[in-house]
Amino acid sequence: MIKENIKDALNKQINAELYSAYLYLSMSAYFSSINLKGFASWMRVQAREEFGHAMKFFDYLQERGGRVKLTAIQEPPSDWEFPLQLFEQVYEHEQKVTAMIDELVNIAQSEKDHATNNFLQWFVAEQVEEESSADEIVQRLKLIKDTKSGLFMLDQKLGQRPAK
């Protein structure tokens, strides 16, 4: 049976992952509303990926005999000034998620819960990829600045992101 503090922390992470999916879906809707369909598609793929992360935690917690308790998901923002501001928020959000995963690892290690620690290592590696991906787009948007042709080209590229 999984320890209570680990169960509670995993339930909190499920909520955080669902919020991430909700946030990225809101960002997708925003990009659709300003006719950046490639950006919108990238965000939809990201939202599905975050929902998948939530389900990994959901399934793991149940597999370990813990009870999943779903709580209210915070309302995400729905408007941004410009794409760079939005992707800077994505990068900051992914850094926050990384810190949450790191804290879960710390809890698992302090409780000597080797199974949970092993489970979490996939997420540790995943967060390296998540932060890198968001930062790469931030850096490209900084290079593009207000160049409409650059934004158009990046929109085309982001629209090619395959679903995992």
Binding residues: 17, 50, 53, 94, 127
21 located within any domain: yes
64 Rama class: left (phi>0) / alpha (psi -120 to 50) / beta? alpha
Task: Give the number of other Cβ atoms within 10 Å of residue 28's Cβ.
Answer: 21
Residues 17-26 as b or e (16 or more Cβ within 10 Å = b): bbbbbbbbbb
163 located within any domain: no
Residue 10 pLDDT greater than 90, yes or no: yes
Count how many domains the chain has.
1
User: Mean of the pLDDT values across residues 117-123?
Assistant: 98
152 located within any domain: yes
134 located within any domain: yes
Binding residues for Fe cation: 17, 50, 53, 94, 127
16 located within any domain: yes
108: containing domain:
4-70+79-158
CATH of the domain at 19: 1.20.1260.10
pLDDT digits (tens, 9 = 90+) for 48-96: 999 999 999 999 999 999 999 999 999 999 999 999 999 999 999 999 9
**Structure tokens belonging to residue 65:** 């005999």
